[in-house]
Amino acid sequence: MSSDDRHLGSSCGSFIKTEPSSPSSGIDALSHHSPSGSSDASGGFGLALGTHANGLDSPPMFAGAGLGGTPCRKSYEDCASGIMEDSAIKCEYMLNAIPKRLCLVCGDIASGYHYGVASCEACKAFFKRTIQGNIEYSCPATNECEITKRRRKSCQACRFMKCLKVGMLKEGVRLDRVRGGRQKYKRRLDSESSPYLSLQISPPAKKPLTKIVSYLLVAEPDKLYAMPPPGMPEGDIKALTTLCDLADRELVVIIGWAKHIPGFSNLSLGDQMSLLQSAWMEILILGIVYRSLPYDDKLVYAEDYIMDEEHSRLAGLLELYRAILQLVRRYKKLKVEKEEFVTLKALALANSDSMYIEDLEAVQKLQDLLHEALQDYELSQRHEEPRRTGKLLLTLPLLRQTAAKAVQHFYSVKLQGKVPMHKLFLEMLEAKVGQEQLRGSPKDERVSSHDGKCPFQSAAFTSRDQSNPPGIPNPHPSSPTPLNERGRQISPSTRTPGGQGKHFWLTM
């Protein structure tokens, strides 16, 4: 080391610091939604900020001086060649010329590029702990909490979503908690903020994981449990009662989940309802299929409710069991990953066959957005299988056929009047059956009778004492609505769609 270099180290060490600064983007946060009826996994994980143990962090920014060429080097030499006062002045002048950058998550001073994004040590450690611990957070407010340096501890859910929105990469975190080498993915450098960097380093060609898929992973609901009625004797009635109660609670969760699909809330309320009324059973069955993948010839309706062939036969569900098992085997052969599952589930909703869409162009944009997200994911993760996206999409028709069988079966159970059904499940069941019945009627009759709109769509905002739509029988129009052992309203008879739908759609 030359005397000039030693002089530089002693005189400039206290002035040359990494102070990256880029205004934090004010992007709305999206967090996991846990509506009533589902288990709430609130994150009570403490924030021990300031830790440095991360095997995949990139080197500190500007660690190698002179990335841009001779101007910075000349400033360093000038700084080292003068007397102490002049050196300090010139170092400060040079420091001001370096593009500053802030943590894109909270706005604090960034210590480097961590997981592909300029961020501070606190947000780096928070993101690492969240991924390694597989922690799910729930926002206590409206999922729009402001994340700043002072308020970053106030809402973990919004802070984590801010990390994802600014581009932090989940795959950059080592799940084995062992320190490794430096990050192997390319750093995302802001070429506009540094003329020197823009001359030599080009941006990465493709993002390893699309943001849409990241949103869907975070929005994925918590696990539900069937909780079969303890006092009811074993048999088909108990099995069907358990499944109907579970489906009702899952519907509450699905409505909240759908509102967190990017672009879904931009649709009109009528189109949101039409899509859900048409595709809710497909979403339920897709969840059963994914939970059943690790098992052989068993269907996992819930974590505490697994049915094999014999159990399904005793419950009168043998035909439905075989239909769903066919889907399970198909997805198992494809080795479907969770990222693909959540995207397919959103696509099943957007690709609904509802005839009552008001804004077809808006729904088409949502379909294109999700389709592109699936394609981007497959290109980045399964580039060796160029036809995989098509193979996954070709499973949706079989999913729709299986859902139709399930709707027919549970509607026949409903007509028998032996199994109590909660109001939301019953309304959605009637809406789906009503759509199928109207689909089979002449087109001019459908338009003249309902003005081209879903007959259940307007009923969701009217009183509960309206008569049933045409084609839906009502054998007990004046029967009371009893309460089950959990204190929830049940109805063995046909209920008018509305009321409950209005409550959920206007308050959730």
Contact 493, 474 (CB under 8 A): yes
Band of pLDDT at residue 214, cut at 50, 70 and 90:
confident
Summarised one tens digit per residue, pLDDT across range 261-274 is 989 989 999 999 99
Here the tokens at position 470 are 């045409």
Q: Mean pLDDT across the chain, nearest whole number?
A: 70
Assessment of whether the complete model's pTM goes beyond 0.85 = no
Domain 211-437 falls under CATH 3.40.50.300:
no
Residue 500 has pLDDT above 70, yes or no: no
Band of pLDDT at residue 3, cut at 50, 70 and 90:
very low
Summarised one tens digit per residue, pLDDT across range 335-390 is 999 999 999 999 999 988 777 888 999 999 999 999 999 999 988 887 778 899 99
Count CB-CB contacts under 10 A for residue 441: 12
Residue 36 has pLDDT above 60, yes or no: no
Backbone angles phi, psi at 214, to 5 degrees: -65, -45
User: What DSSP line would sit under 228-287, residue for residue?
Assistant: --TTSPSSHHHHHHHHHHHHHHHHHHHHHHHTTSTTGGGS-HHHHHHHHHHHHHHHHHHH
Band of pLDDT at residue 176, cut at 50, 70 and 90:
low
Residue 58 has pLDDT above 60, yes or no: no
Residue (of 275, 288, 295) closest to 243 by Cα position: 288
User: Tokens 């928070």 correspond to what residue?
Assistant: 126
- How much is the pLDDT for 407? 92
Contact 258, 276 (CB under 8 A): yes
Residue range(s) in the chain whose domain bears CATH number 1.10.565.10: 211-437
- How much is the pLDDT for 169? 85
Residue range(s) in the chain whose domain bears CATH number 3.30.50.10: 112-172
- How much is the pLDDT for 337? 92
- How much is the pLDDT for 432? 86
b/e sequence 311-322, b meaning 16+ C-beta within 10 Å: bbeebbbeebbe
Domain 112-172 falls under CATH 1.10.3720.10:
no
